[in-house]
């Protein structure tokens, strides 16, 4: 009873440990230390709330991206639908899909598929399909809907940063509409406005009807693809402020991590998540040519310098996914 009364006075104590799903190791200490300095007006590292920008990668950083990212699963589901259309029989890439040569296609033609797969669909239909996939699609190994593949410690970190008045941006190489729709299915991210989710944009055309504009997908994406240099460029184009903190997991995130160096604030933080837990998630090969996590913090040194904090899923995460409801 006394405890309950006390809880009313201090938010910190009411929440207990805001990063309870993180092991008490250097990564957690570095995060908390950074945040506590940055929010303290008497500290030399203080950053006012309007400049507390944090940019976070999605695939492989906020949720599982293996064997395929949700955006890629979505592209494949569209290709499968297209492959059913009789007028497309005998034409590539649809025959290849039918023949289950998806792995080959993915490696060889993914960029072609990206915009093409949804051409002609209106954005409402795209959102509806992604929502269904997020709720009903099943991850082949974990046998749970895709929206339950977010890493609990990362969502807890997002909530902690929000509570400290950080301005959260999710920067993903995936289709922006997929990113916005998928993240809206997750309680910790649902309160963020769509503008905070920046992905690769599929070009649209617009028509005007009685109920306002209808947006149709064209068969191509807009520049820049939101990976590598594209993430730094979109930080300028779309946010217009440098982040003081950035979190990624692959070579595609290095430019985003480097952008923190432009903020001008004395204390900034760069995190790289290491996929080293084959038992609970995946252990990525060290020399993976896909660009995902080659050699930890060393990965981004060319762009972002040496001061990068490695987070180990194996050692730093007490838990990975939400305990299954089944």
**Which residues contact a copy of itself (rule: CB under 8 A)?**
50, 123, 176, 180, 193-195, 197, 201, 203-206, 208, 211-213, 215, 222-224, 229, 232-233, 236-242, 255, 258-263, 302-304
Burial of 261 (0-12, 13-18, 19+ CB in 10 A): middle
Q: Which is nearer to a copy of itself, 83 or 219 (CB)?
A: 219
Spell out a b/e string for 78-112, using b for 16 or more CB atoms within 10 Å of the CB, else e: bbeebbeeeeeeeeebbebbeeeebeebeeeeeee
Using alpha carbons only, what angle is made at residue 167 by residues 164 and 172, rounded to the nearest 5 degrees?
Answer: 130
Residue with tokens 């998540």: 273
Closest contact distance (angstroms) between CB of 239 and a copy of itself is 5
Closest contact distance (angstroms) between CB of 50 and a copy of itself is 6
Closest contact distance (angstroms) between CB of 180 and a copy of itself is 6
Q: Which is nearer to a copy of itself, 9 or 208 (CB)?
A: 208
How many C-beta atoms lie closer than 10 Å to residue 5's C-beta?
8
Closest contact distance (angstroms) between CB of 155 and a copy of itself is 20
Q: Which is nearer to a copy of itself, 44 or 210 (CB)?
A: 210
Closest contact distance (angstroms) between CB of 233 and a copy of itself is 6
Closest contact distance (angstroms) between CB of 135 and a copy of itself is 20
User: What is the helix (H) or strand (E) element at residue 214, kind and residue range?
Assistant: strand 212-221
Q: Which is nearer to a copy of itself, 88 or 222 (CB)?
A: 222
Burial of 191 (0-12, 13-18, 19+ CB in 10 A): exposed
Spell out a b/e string for 12-37, using b for 16 or more CB atoms within 10 Å of the CB, else e: eeeeeebbebbeeeebbeebeebbee
User: What is the helix (H) or strand (E) element at residue 31, kind and residue range?
Assistant: helix 26-38
- The 3-state DSSP class for residue 66 equals coil
Cα 92 from chain centroid?
Answer: 31
Closest contact distance (angstroms) between CB of 88 and a copy of itself is 28
Closest contact distance (angstroms) between CB of 262 and a copy of itself is 3
Q: What are phi and psi of 291, to 5 degrees?
A: 90, -5
Q: Is the Cβ–Cβ distance between 256 and 248 less than 8 Å?
A: yes
Q: Which is nearer to a copy of itself, 110 or 237 (CB)?
A: 237
Q: Which is nearer to a copy of itself, 106 or 238 (CB)?
A: 238
> Which value, in Å, is the radius of gyration of the alpha carbons in the chain?
21
Q: Which is nearer to a copy of itself, 249 or 260 (CB)?
A: 260
Q: Which is nearer to a copy of itself, 37 or 238 (CB)?
A: 238
């Amino acid at each position: 009873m006394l405890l309950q009364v006390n809880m009313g006075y201090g938010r910190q104590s009411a929440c207990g440990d805001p990063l309870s799903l993180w092991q008490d190791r250097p990564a957690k200490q570095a995060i908390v230390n950074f945040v506590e300095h940055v929010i303290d007006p008497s500290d030399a590292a203080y950053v006012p709330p309007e400049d507390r920008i944090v940019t976070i990668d999605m695939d492989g950083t906020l949720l599982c991206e293996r064997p395929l990212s949700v955006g890629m699963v979505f592209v494949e589901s569209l290709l499968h639908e297209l492959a059913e259309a009789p007028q497309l029989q005998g034409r590539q890439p649809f025959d290849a899909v039918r023949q289950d040569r998806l792995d080959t296609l993915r490696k060889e033609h993914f960029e072609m598929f990206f915009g093409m797969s949804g051409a002609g669909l209106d954005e409402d239909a795209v959102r509806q399909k992604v929502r269904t996939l997020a709720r009903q699609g099943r991850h082949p190994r974990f046998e749970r809907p895709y929206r339950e593949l977010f890493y609990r410690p990362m969502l807890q970190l997002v909530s902690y940063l929000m509570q400290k008045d950080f301005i959260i941006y999710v920067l993903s190489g995936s289709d922006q509409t997929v990113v916005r729709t998928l993240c809206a299915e997750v309680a910790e991210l649902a309160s963020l406005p769509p503008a905070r989710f920046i992905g690769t944009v599929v070009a649209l055309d617009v028509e005007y009807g009685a109920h306002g504009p209808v947006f149709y997908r064209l068969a191509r994406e807009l520049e820049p693809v939101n990976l590598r240099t594209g993430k730094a460029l979109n930080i300028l184009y779309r946010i217009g402020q440098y982040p003081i903190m950035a979190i990624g997991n692959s070579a595609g995130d290095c430019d985003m991590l480097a952008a923190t160096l432009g903020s001008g604030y004395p204390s900034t933080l760069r995190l790289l998540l290491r996929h080293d837990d084959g038992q609970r998630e995946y252990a990525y090969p060290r020399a993976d040519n896909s660009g995902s996590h080659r050699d930890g913090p060393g990965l981004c040194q060319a762009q972002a310098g040496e001061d990068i904090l490695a987070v180990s899923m194996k050692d730093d995460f007490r838990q990975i996914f939400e305990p299954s409801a089944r």
